[in-house]
Each structure stands twice: as C-alpha cells, then as structure tokens.
Amino acid sequence: MEEICDKNNMKPTLGQALIPIVFLIIALGYGIVVLEVDPHIPLLIGGAVAALVAMKIGYKWDTIEDGIFKGIMIAMQAIVILMIVGTLIGSWVEAGVVPSMIYYGLQILSPQIFLVATAIVCTIVSVFAGSSWTTAATIGIALLGVGEGLGVPAPITAGAIISGAYVGDKMSPLSDSTNLAAGTTGDVDLFDHIRHMLYVTIPAYIITLIIYAIIGLQFAGESLDEGHINVIIDALSGEFQIGPMMLIPVVFVLILIGFKIPPIPGLLLGSIVGALFAIIFQGAAPAEVIGSMHYGFVMDSGVEVVDDLLTIGGLDGMMWTISLILVALSLGGILERARFLEVFVENILKLTKTIGSLSLVTHITAVFFNIVTADQYLAIVLNARMYKNAY
C-alpha cells in the first residue's frame, strides 16, 4: 500500500523537482571547474540531495533504493559490454590489430589530401580505440605537428582531427558513450543504434570531407614533413608484427555483426580471437595477454605519442567510466522514481507539438546538460530517462 501511495500520489511541484537538478549543476560546475576533481563525488552528493528531497516529500527509503537499483539495471547490458570492450581493446593492441590500423592509416597522408586524410585517420583510430579523447590527445597531436610543417593553420587541422575522432567514436561499438546511449534508452540493440546513426552521420561526414578537400587544395604544392609520421611508423613496426593478417580479427567481428550476433558474445569472441593472434603472431605469453586484457596494454617504445596512444584497454581501464555510469544511473533512478523527471518533462513537453519539435527539445536539453554539468554521461542518462516515454 505504501508503494502504491509513493507511486501514484506523491508528485513533487516543479520547484521541488528543480532543487536536485539545480544543486547538481552547481556541484558539478564547482567541482569540475573550480576544484578540478572528477565528477563522481559531486554526482554522488547530488544523488544524496535528490534522495533527501524525495524523503522530505514523503517517499520512504525502500522506494528510493528500489529506484536506484532499477536505474542501474536499465544499463546493465551496456556495462557488461563495456567490461568486454576493455578486454577486447587490450587483446587487440597486444595482437597488433590496433597498431596495424594506425600504421596503414598513416600511409595515406599526403599534402594534397592532408586535411581529408587527417579526418579519415582519426576516424579509423577512434573506431578501433573507442575513444575520441585518446585519439585527439595522441595521434591528433602528431598530426598537428605535420600540419604545421605544411603551413596548415592549427585551428583547421584541429577541426579535421576532432571531426574524425568524434565520428569514429560515435560509430564505434567499443565506445563507452555509444554503449551507454543504447543501454539507457531501454531495449535498444547496440548495432541497431549505430546503424540508425549512420543516416545522419554519413551525409554530414561526406560534406565535411568535401569541405576539407576544398580547403586543402591551397596546400597541394607543399612538401610533407614526414618526420613526425615516420617516428610513429618506425615505433609501431619495431614493436609489432604489422601486416594485413592482423586485420582478420576486425573482419571477424564485422562478419559477426553482419550475422546479427548480439554484441556481448560477438565482442567476447573478438576478444578471444585477438588473444590468440597475440600469442601466435606477436609471440606474447598467455600470462601477458591475460594481463593486457585485465589491466590494459602498456606500451614502452620510448616514443611518447605512441606510448600514450597504445597504453589503453583492459577490464580495469573501464572501471573509471563504469563507476561514473553507476553513480549517474543511481541519480537518474532517484529522479525518475520520485517523479522529479516526470514533472520536469511535463513542463518541457508543453512546448512540443510534433515529432520534429520533440527531437529539437531533446537536442537542446542534451546540449544544456552537457554544457552545465560538463559531463556527457549524465547528459545521456538524464535525457534517455526523461524522454523515453514521450518517444
């Protein structure tokens, strides 16, 4: 009876619903911008405030706790996928799969198509690293140096790097944010999610490449300073056996995707194939491979940009992201169970009359939460839970 009362009658006012959201924005802004700390603890405090407001309204702790666990369970599949992705990245770097992709990607650079090639290389690296930040902070920095040698303004080169890195990240089944977006919206298959993003991503990507091709024509007569690139290529070929054979695990996973194998067994099989390739072709000991799958691969080539780029992956490497997702989902569960989000959305949806306006409002609030909280994970979680029923 208490549960029914909680659910049906205890509806907060708009002012009460805004208290935890406004507090969260302030806490995250102060914590991230002023104190320069990770968002986990500010989010946790925000969840505590949301729970206190809910209890002040009249909700019992058991109801709030139930909301927390249900909020987490919504994205449990995405969390498991992220754990497997960590092991896959570790095994694929150990196997030379990711290094081979980077190696071949760098081969396509030339002055005439430098900006286009930069975007494509960053796309390739980001797809197989599953991270736009890692791509921009490593291979992106190297490409900035190459661009300076060609006389390409740094802001233009940076734009090409970011364009490729974010397209690759969003289209990657290894991306944490892509998995989270599919997981928190409900029963959405990861690969269906990626396929539907292609409808708008591919046209935008093609237009972007055309623009960079036109801009790049003015640098066609320049000579390419291959020093930065050769350092990376030499480091990769010196540490790994590079060859087309190393791309077989990628083709294998793509075939599994084509046959609509669910992401958890598909990515797990890809991780196992990568481990076998590491043992067979790279001469890695089984213990080394297991270590890379668990703790992440550690690159020690002496070339900083390569070491930073390839010291990635592992089950442990995903725990920072997973813990952040768990905290964000807990907060989202409280806001949803105590009907804070319901009240918030009811007022927003008064502005929407069509599917297009609903889409526009969703975009605006997603950008708003991302800007004010400086956290894409929270923006994904809150928007997914807010608009699920409306869609």
Per-residue pLDDT of the chain (391 residues; tens, 9 = 90+): 344 444 545 788 888 888 998 898 899 888 888 888 998 999 899 999 999 999 999 999 999 999 999 888 877 888 888 898 889 889 999 999 888 878 887 776 777 788 998 898 889 888 877 778 777 766 776 787 677 767 788 899 899 999 998 888 888 887 878 887 887 776 778 888 888 888 888 999 999 999 999 988 887 666 666 677 788 888 989 999 998 999 898 888 878 877 878 878 888 998 999 999 999 999 999 999 999 999 999 998 888 878 887 888 899 988 998 998 899 889 888 988 898 888 888 888 877 778 888 888 888 888 887 776 666 777 787 788 778 777 7
Rounded Cα distance, 10 and 256, in Å: 48
CB proximity list for 362: less than 8 A, separation 6 or greater: 383, 387
Measured between alpha carbons, how far is 135 from 161 in angstroms, rounded to an integer?
A: 8
Report yes or no on whether pTM surpasses 0.85: no
Buried b (16+ CB within 10 A) or exposed e, 3-42: eeebeeeeebeeebbbbbbebbbebbeebbeeeeeebbeb
